[in-house]
């Protein structure tokens, strides 16, 4: 990563410090819940203050490795990490369950992960359940009223991004000058599989962002709400989005947020235009026969 | 198209997505939505020189089991490995949303009969996850599906069916895990990382992807059943899947909730217990766990027929 | 008349061997046992530059440990070897050339290493003697290509060097016999050294050293075809074969080439064959490896005997339990033998049927591609009319009676002809044409400087071609012109087929030289997977009553 | 891919050939007229999957004055004539008329095309399912 002097890759903990109010991050503590200190070491969770408001922090820690699960290091989300992240979310919900939406604590995801644990033990025990449970927890928190903001500071790769990022209300990303990577697969792999020249693929990706790697393409698809051009701005931009999301939820406009909201945004930005037409046509076709299924 | 009665007797594994969709609902009840005649092909494949399909590799529609409307999503593994792109991803999300809206309407129009008329979503997974030709759109669609699942929670059951050659991997692996009920035949597989990638990451000595017996022991239906991750292990006929679905259709939601593996603090704690066991035990092979759960001769389990297996197998006990 | 007597020593070969052996005594532990760790030293001692050396390479079992160790010898001590071996499968078989240990090669089949052979020829790392059929190469072992040192593989040995080759005997007897009785040296790698062998396949007197290899020898389930991958088009061709050839000629004794086409035929015997009433009339005696896809036909009583070139992984218990059908030793395990099976395949069968890559308008067929020196293995031994054959059978006579050239070639005497059948789809996967105006074998001959094009089956031996378009009964053609027209008539939309004259094709149909599925009364609509007696490997296991134990890579449970 | 090529000098040269850059899918359109055409009984029918080496066929009844229109979408280049002949053979063998045929192909061999067309035709002509 020499080419990016100021990259945030591998610096999840630094990012926490740069974002939250100074010296407010209490690791492993969420409400009354206390996470075991050495559990899921490649994820860092806890509570901090953001502009005087408590927030739940869920970040990758690429400097650690999990000695029980040898494929989990460098920011990989293993089973322990995913369940730890899920618990952080569930206990945030629990802590604020009696509070109105305006007081439900924001959940901030600091994203720098290359993937899910690709190991044999992971498959035997069911890695899919671990990442799945974290996503369900985030979806529940979001629908309960917690603002969930993801900020991609480094790598947001494929399934790991799905798990840690794509269930947020809003997704933000540092610009590509920071070496930020958002993709399912690098263009080189796509080139190998489709047997197409990388130059041609690059040319195609400018007009169609659907397979290209990079935050700017996700932006066009509605997958990234806003790109943060200066790392110093992270804190303010995140805080602004927290306010935006509170306001939207206060109006009950949940559908403008989260994955569904990103679909609408994608269409607005001209990135994914066929899916909504397809769904509208499905609705229409169902309506024509609905009676025989709903009132049989 | 084959007659429904013949479909019920035929192999789920060998069937195509449309045959499965028709056969998982009552005779003559299935209406395809956004079928081939709508010609909603992927707009992204042609520029990459890749063949298209009129239904974009996914059959979606609605049928009935008794009075229950059944919203069906059936993936076609023969088309680009069943991978998810913009259009078929949209079809998947659209179908789940239709089910949720239908549930609301039935609540309103037939409040007394909701249990008998409660809709269900049935998803036959046959996919490796994201379609790389339109990877970004495919990825975003996965998140939308999880979002839509959460909206259906406690209202109507989402049933995962895996009985195909491709199995269910990649991002769709955790989508499957997030459903209420999982039904598999012996040939079904669910996982996150495919065997080739594990081999690449860990070396052939640790995991030989060409050793299919090993692959099935790791992610196959019998393993999932022992681990409590598969609720119904059925014979490989479309009719067996239909029967299992019909069984779920009439169960109260509270009972269906008990079939889940993730989705609440309690369930996550339960899974954390399993992860602790695995971390302590460091199993080299799924059979180590089978033995731990009381199967004296784990090596014999793969050889048993489904019926024999169900008779003798000892599974992880869930609280 | 004056007789000139030569004054020379008459036992130099023996002396040389004894010298080498006494130098190698230091490595012998007990009886004939050498420790695996001393293998390289042993080989450096008993092998001298320019020796003819055989590494046992079979279709299945491989002397893989010895092959690996031969690559580790010091090329300054051991070099310019002349490798004489039937099959080159392992990378090590070519590495010895790369490392300068070996120079010359005589072989039969190279499979996965075919590309490298072409490359090495070009780079002059390797001199090619000749590409043989198995029987030719075995023959030459006893004429001018006798190995000085043979590195063979067996399942077990005892301390005295007796070998148990068990299920996969394959080439071992012919290699050892040639080597040992011309004063050579035989080194055997075995999976296990035991006190008592189940049976003796090679007497210990013929073996000089045995080495227990750290891992069992590598074995490939080469003849296993998963029924789940059989296509409708293959089923159509199989129906055509059974009705238009097997049934038509009453073929009782035969060999099946490897591939999905023949696997489909095997799986249609208990269904379509039964429906046609052919049970007991066809497919009674096979010269064939134990194909798992033959299990349903055996179990439903079609097959009386099977003799095998080699074993097939997973079929051990099934074969042992069917000793009425297979050739099984007193110990209960099968005895295969490629030399005998090839002999039987050459003389004692009435039909060979197999696939190919390319057929030209003359009926020559070849599996060669321009950049791969692959060889033929044993197909040409069976895929030809055995000119020395003197016994008759009904099928053989019927083809002979139909043979259009018989009067011109041998007048009024009655003589039969072997059925030699190629089964091919006009286009293979990725739309590679199965019919071409010029075989790639021509380009290969030029590229690799071969004296003759590597043709697998010659046009004059070929009696039938089956494609999805129809069957061409080539032996009924009276001239090259007619034969070419018949081939074009079934070559579909390939460049060869596009040149067909529809009128001529129609005439050939009337004359019974071409028969389409319609002509044969076969409904294309019935050609689907529901015709198969077993649709997947699991069903083969069921047919076998659990005796077939498929290798892990063929399982989906 | 790597290939071996013989030069005029007899030398063999190793050539590294770049895979042909695939461009967009291509669409082929054909029209056929059988001698005594009959149309299908159903309004439309669909069969098959665009799997590797396979194809899907959509047939629709359409008033075309007895003609057949066919549209093929395929990634394979250079087989236009094969498609024309194969579809022509099908139309002629089955005497098809007033039908629009649409095919999505992924490298199907001619026999697979022909078998699928025959199956689709048989299905489109059978009585409505129960």
Min Cα–Cα distance to chain B from C532, Å: 13
Instruction: For residue D101, give the H/E element and its range.
Output: strand D99-106
pLDDT digit string (tens) for A73-99? 999 999 999 999 999 999 999 999 999
Which residue from C minimizes the CA distance to B15? Answer: C529
For the four alpha carbons of C458, C459, C464 and C465, in that order, the dihedral sign comes to: positive
pLDDT of residue A1: 42
Residue numbers in C near D124 (CB within 8 A): none
- Provide the pLDDT for residue A194: 73
Whether the CB of B94 is below 8 Å from some CB of chain C: the reply is no
Q: Nearest CA of chain D to the CA of B101: how many Å?
A: 30
Gap between the Cα atoms of D39 and D43, Å rounded: 10
Nearest C-alpha neighbor of A82 from the set A122, A38, A134, A119? A134
Q: Residues B292-305: what's their mean pLDDT?
A: 95
Task: Write the CATH number of the domain with boundaries D23-125.
Answer: 3.30.230
Cα–Cα dist B3/D126, whole Å: 12
- Provide, as residue numbers in chain D, all residues whose Cβ is less than 8 Å from the Cβ of A194: 22
Element spanning B130, H or E? none
C25-212 is a CATH 3.40.1080.10 domain: yes
| Mean pLDDT of the B303-310 span | 95
Contacts of D54 in chain C (CB under 8 A): none
Where do the domains of chain C lie?
Answer: 25-212, 227-538
Local confidence band at B12 (pLDDT 50, 70, 90 cut-offs): very high
Read off the pLDDT of residues B110-147 as tens digits, 9 standing for 90 and up. Answer: 999 999 999 999 999 999 999 989 999 999 999 999 99
pTM: 0.91
The verdict on A195 touching D (C-beta cutoff 8 Å) is yes
Q: What pLDDT is recorded for position C374? A: 87
Q: Which residues of C touch B218 (CB under 8 A)?
A: none
Per-window interface: D 28-87 vs B, CB < 8 A: 44, 46, 49-52, 54, 56, 58, 60, 73-75
Tell if the CB–CB gap between C492 and D76 is shorter than 8 Å.
no
Q: Looking at residues A171-185, what average pLDDT do you find?
A: 93
How do the domains of chain B map onto residue ranges?
4-190+229-259
| pLDDT exceeds 90 at position A296 | no
Closest chain C residue to the Cα of D53, Cα to Cα: C429
Q: What is the pLDDT of residue C537?
A: 96
Q: What's the confidence (pLDDT) of residue C376? A: 87
B-chain residues near D107 (CB < 8 A)? 51
**Which secondary-structure segment (H or E) carries B199?**
helix B195-202
What's the pLDDT tens digit per position in A143-159? 999 999 999 999 999 99
Which run of H or of E encompasses A281? helix A274-294
Q: Which residues of B touch A132 (CB under 8 A)?
A: 146, 173-175, 177-178, 262
| Nearest residue in chain C measured CA to CA from D6 | C447
B213–C535 CB contact, under 8 Å = no
Confidence of residue D127 (pLDDT cuts 50, 70, 90): low
CB C188, CB C153: distance < 8 Å: yes
- Residues of chain D in contact with residue A191, where contact means CB-CB under 8 angstroms, are none
Contact list in B for residue D61 (CB cut-off 8 A) is none
C119 CB neighbours in chain D (<8 A) are 4, 14
State the smallest CA–CA distance between residue B9 and chain A in angstroms.
Answer: 25
Cβ pair A132, B190 in contact under 8 A: no
**Could you say which of 3.90.226.10, 3.30.70.580, 2.40.170.20, 3.40.50.12240 is the CATH number of the domain covering A12-294?**
3.90.226.10
What are the tens digits of pLDDT across the range A114-142? 999 899 999 999 999 999 999 999 999 99
* Contact state of C524 with D110 under an 8 Å Cβ cutoff: no
Any chains having at least 3 CB pairs less than 8 A from chain B are A, C, D
The torsion region of residue C50 among left (phi > 0), alpha (psi -120 to 50) and beta comes to left
Main-chain phi, psi angles of A61, to 5 degrees = -120, 100
- Looking at residue A41, the DSSP 8-state letter turns out to be T
Structure tokens at B224: 């999932």
* Per-residue pLDDT tens over the stretch B229-239: 999 999 999 99
Binned average pLDDT, 10 residues per bin, chain C of 557 residues: 81 97 96 97 98 93 96 98 96 96 96 90 93 96 98 97 95 98 98 97 98 94 94 96 98 96 98 98 98 98 97 96 97 95 97 95 92 88 96 98 96 97 93 95 88 94 97 98 98 95 97 97 93 96 96 89
Rounded Cα–Cα distance for residues C156 and C64 (Å): 15
| pLDDT tens per residue, range D11-20 | 343 433 334 4
Buried b (16+ CB within 10 A) or exposed e, A92-114: bbebbeeeeeeebbbbbbbbbbb
Residue pairs between chains C and D whose CB atoms are closer than 8 Å: 63
D130 pLDDT band, cuts 50/70/90, is very low
A208–chain D Cβ distance below 8 A for any pair: no
The beta-carbon neighbor of B210 closest among C228, C546, C553 is C553
Please state, in angstroms and rounded to a whole number, the distance separating the CA atoms of residues B86 and A162. 16
Q: Could you read off the pLDDT of A179-234 as tens digits, one per residue?
A: 999 998 888 877 877 777 888 888 888 777 888 888 988 998 999 999 999 999 99
pLDDT at residue B295 is higher than 50: yes
Segment A96-116, tens digit of pLDDT: 999 999 999 999 999 999 999
Q: A273 or B105: whose pLDDT is higher?
A: B105
| C156 and C193 Cβ atoms separated by less than 8 Å | yes
DSSP B210-267: T-HHHHHHHHBHHHHHHTT--SEEE-SSHHHHHHHHHHHHTS-HHHHHTT-SSSSHHH
Which of C228, C536, C553 is opposite residue B211, by nearest beta carbon?
C553
For domain C227-538, the CATH superfamily is Glutaconate Coenzyme A-transferase (3.40.1080.10)
pLDDT of residue D22: 44
Which of B87, B146, B173 has the CB atom closest to A128's CB atom?
Answer: B173
Among residues A116, A238, A236, the alpha carbon closest in space to that of A173 is found at A238
Average pLDDT of span D57-80: 96
Residue D8 pLDDT greater than 60, yes or no: no
Residue C370 has a pLDDT of 83
Summary mean pLDDT of chain B: 96
Q: Assign domain B4-190+229-259 to a CATH class.
A: alpha beta
Residue B213 near chain C (CB below 8 Å): yes
ipTM here = 0.90
Predicted pLDDT at D9: 36
Distance CA C364, CA C387 (A): 18
Q: Which chains pack against C, by 3+ Cβ pairs within 8 A?
A: B, D
pLDDT of residue C48: 98
Chain A partners within 8 Å of B285 (Cβ): 124
How far is the alpha carbon of B89 from chain D, nearest alpha carbon, in Å? Answer: 18
Burial of C520 (0-12, 13-18, 19+ CB in 10 A): middle
Which residue of chain B is at minimal alpha-carbon distance from A129?
B177
Q: How confident is the model at residue B1 (pLDDT cuts 50, 70, 90)?
A: low
The whole-number pLDDT of residue C468 equals: 96
């Amino acid at each position: 990563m020499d080419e990016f002097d100021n990259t945030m890759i591998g610096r999840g903990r630094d990012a926490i410090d740069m974002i939250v109010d100074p010296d407010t991050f209490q690791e492993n503590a969420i409400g009354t819940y206390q996470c075991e200190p050495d559990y899921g070491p490649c994820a860092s969770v806890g509570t901090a203050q953001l502009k005087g408001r408590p927030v739940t922090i869920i970040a990758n820690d690429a400097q650690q490795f999990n000695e029980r699960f040898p494929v989990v290091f460098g920011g990989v989300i293993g089973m322990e990490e995913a369940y730890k992240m899920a618990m952080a979310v569930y206990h945030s919900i629990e802590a604020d369950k009696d509070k109105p939406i305006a007081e439900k604590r924001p959940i901030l995801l600091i994203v720098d992960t290359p993937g899910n644990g690709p190991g044999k033990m992971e498959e035997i025990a069911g890695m899919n359940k671990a990442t799945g449970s974290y996503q369900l927890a985030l979806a529940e928190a979001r629908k309960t009223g917690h603002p969930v903001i993801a900020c991609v500071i480094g790598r947001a790769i494929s399934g790991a991004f799905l798990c840690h990022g794509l269930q947020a209300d809003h997704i933000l990303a540092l610009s590509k000058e920071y070496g930020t990577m958002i993709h399912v697969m690098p263009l080189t792999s796509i080139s190998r599989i489709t047997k197409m020249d990388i130059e041609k693929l690059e040319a195609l990706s400018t007009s169609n962002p659907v397979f290209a790697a990079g935050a700017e393409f996700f932006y066009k698809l509605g997958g990234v709400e806003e790109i943060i051009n200066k790392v110093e701005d992270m804190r303010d931009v995140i805080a602004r989005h927290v306010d935006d999301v509170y306001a939207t939820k206060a109006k009950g406009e949940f559908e403008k947020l989260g994955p569904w909201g990103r679909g609408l945004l994608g269409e607005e930005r001209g990135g994914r235009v066929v899916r909504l037409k397809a769904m509208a046509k499905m609705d229409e076709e169902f309506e024509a026969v609905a009676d025989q299924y709903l009132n049989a | 198209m084959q007659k429904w009665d013949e479909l019920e007797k035929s192999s789920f594994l060998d069937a195509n997505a449309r045959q499965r969709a028709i056969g998982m609902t009552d005779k003559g009840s299935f209406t395809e939505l956004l079928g081939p005649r709508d010609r909603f092909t992927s707009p992204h494949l042609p520029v990459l020189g890749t063949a298209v399909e009129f239904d974009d590799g996914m059959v979606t529609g609605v049928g009935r089991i008794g009075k229950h409307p059944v919203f069906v999503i059936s993936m076609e593994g023969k088309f680009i490995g069943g991978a998810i792109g913009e259009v078929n991803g949209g079809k998947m999300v659209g179908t789940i949303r239709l089910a949720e809206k239908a549930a609301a309407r039935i609540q309103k129009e037939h409040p007394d009969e909701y249990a008998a008329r409660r809709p269900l979503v049935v998803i036959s997974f046959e996919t490796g996850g994201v379609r790389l030709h339109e990877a970004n759109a495919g990825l975003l669609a996965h998140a939308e599906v999880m979002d839509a699942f959460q909206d259906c929670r406690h209202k109507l059951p989402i049933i995962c069916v895996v009985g195909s050659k491709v199995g269910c991997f990649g991002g769709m692996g955790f989508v499957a895990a997030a459903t209420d009920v999982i039904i598999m035949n012996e040939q079904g597989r669910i996982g996150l990382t495919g065997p080739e990638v594990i081999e690449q990451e860990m070396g052939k000595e640790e995991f030989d992807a060409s050793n299919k017996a090993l692959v099935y022991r790791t992610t196959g239906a019998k393993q999932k059943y022992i681990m409590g991750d598969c609720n119904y292990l059925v014979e490989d006929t479309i009719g067996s899947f239909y029967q299992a679905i019909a069984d779920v259709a009439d169960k109260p939601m509270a009972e269906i909730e008990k079939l889940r593996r993730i989705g609440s603090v309690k369930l996550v704690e339960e899974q954390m217990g399993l992860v602790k066991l695995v971390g302590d035990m460091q199993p080299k092979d799924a059979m180590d766990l089978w033995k731990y759960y009381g199967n004296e001769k784990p090596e014999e389990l793969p050889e048993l027929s489904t019926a024999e297996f169900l008779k003798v197998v000892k599974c992880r006990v869930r609280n | 008349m004056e007789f000139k007597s030569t004054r020379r020593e008459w036992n130099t070969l023996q002396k040389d061997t004894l010298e080498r052996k006494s130098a190698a005594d230091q490595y012998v532990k007990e009886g004939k046992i050498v420790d695996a760790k001393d293998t390289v030293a042993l080989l450096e001692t008993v092998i001298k530059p320019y020796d003819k050396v055989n590494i046992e390479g079979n279709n299945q079992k491989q002397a893989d440990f010895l092959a690996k160790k031969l690559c580790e010898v010091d090329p300054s001590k051991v070099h310019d070897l002349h490798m004489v071996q039937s099959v080159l499968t392992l990378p090590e078989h070519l590495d010895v050339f790369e490392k300068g240990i070996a120079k010359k090669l005589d072989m039969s089949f190279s499979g996965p290493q075919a590309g490298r052979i072409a490359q090495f020829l070009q780079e002059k790392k390797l001199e090619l003697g000749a590409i043989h059929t198995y029987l030719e190469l075995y023959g030459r072992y006893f004429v001018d290509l006798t190995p000085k040192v043979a590195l063979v593989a067996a399942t077990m040995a005892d301390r005295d060097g007796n070998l148990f080759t068990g299920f996969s005997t394959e080439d071992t007897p012919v290699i050892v016999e040639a080597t040992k009785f011309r004063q050579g040296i035989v080194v055997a790698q075995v999976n296990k050294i035991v006190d008592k062998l189940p049976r003796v396949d090679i007497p210990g007197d013929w073996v000089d050293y045995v080495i227990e290899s750290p891992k069992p020898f590598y074995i490939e389930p080469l003849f296993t075809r998963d029924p789940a991958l059989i296509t409708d088009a293959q089923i159509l061709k199989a129906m055509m074969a059974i009705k238009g050839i097997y049934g038509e000629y009453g073929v009782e004794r035969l060999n099946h080439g490897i591939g999905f086409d023949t696997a489909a035929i095997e799986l249609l015997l208990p269904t379509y064959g039964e429906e046609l009433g052919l049970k007991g009339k066809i497919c009674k005696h096979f010269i064939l490896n134990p194909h798992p896809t033959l299990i349903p036909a055996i179990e439903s009583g079609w097959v009386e005997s099977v003799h095998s070139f080699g074993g097939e992984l997973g079929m051990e218990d099934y074969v042992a339990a069917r000793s009425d059908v297979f050739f099984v030793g007193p110990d209960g395990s099968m005895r295969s033998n490629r030399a005998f099976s090839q002999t039987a395949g050459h003389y004692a069968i009435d039909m060979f049927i197999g696939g190919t890559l390319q057929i030209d308008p003359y009926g020559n067929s070849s599996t060669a591609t321009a950049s791969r020196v692959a060889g033929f293995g044993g197909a040409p031994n069976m895929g030809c009319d055995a000119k020395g054959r003197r016994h008759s059978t009904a099928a053989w006579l019927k083809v002979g009676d139909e043979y259009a050239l018989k009067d011109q070639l041998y007048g009024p005497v009655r003589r039969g002809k072997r059925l030699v059948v190629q089964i091919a789809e006009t286009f293979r996967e990725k739309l590679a044409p199965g019919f071409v105006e010029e075989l790639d074998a021509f380009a290969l001959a030029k590229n690799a400087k071969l004296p003759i094009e590597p043709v697998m089956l010659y046009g004059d031996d070929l009696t039938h071609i089956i494609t999805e378009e129809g069957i061409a009964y080539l032996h009924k053609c009276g001239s090259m012109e007619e034969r070419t027209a018949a081939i074009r008539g079934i070559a579909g939309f390939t460049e060869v087929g596009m040149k067909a004259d529809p009128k001529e094709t129609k005439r050939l149909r009337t004359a019974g030289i071409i028969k389409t599925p319609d002509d044969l009364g076969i409904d294309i609509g019935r050609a689907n997977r529901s015709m198969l007696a077993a649709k997947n490997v699991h069903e083969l296991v069921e047919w076998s009553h659990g005796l077939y134990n498929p290798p892990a890579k063929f399982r989906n449970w | 891919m790597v290939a071996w090529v013989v030069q005029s000098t007899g030398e063999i040269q190793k050539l590294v050939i770049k895979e042909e850059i695939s461009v967009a899918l291509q669409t082929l359109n054909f029209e056929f007229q059988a001698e005594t055409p009959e149309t299908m009984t159903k309004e439309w029918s669909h069969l098959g999957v665009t799997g590797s080496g396979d194809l899907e066929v959509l047939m629709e009844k359409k008033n075309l004055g007895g003609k057949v229109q066919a549209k093929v979408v395929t990634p394979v280049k250079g087989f236009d004539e094969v498609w024309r002949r194969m579809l022509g053979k099908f139309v002629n063998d089955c005497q098809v008329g007033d039908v629009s045929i649409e095919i999505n192909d992924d490298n199907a061999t001619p026999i697979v095309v022909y078998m699928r067309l025959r199956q689709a035709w048989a299905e489109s002509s059978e009585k409505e399912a129960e």
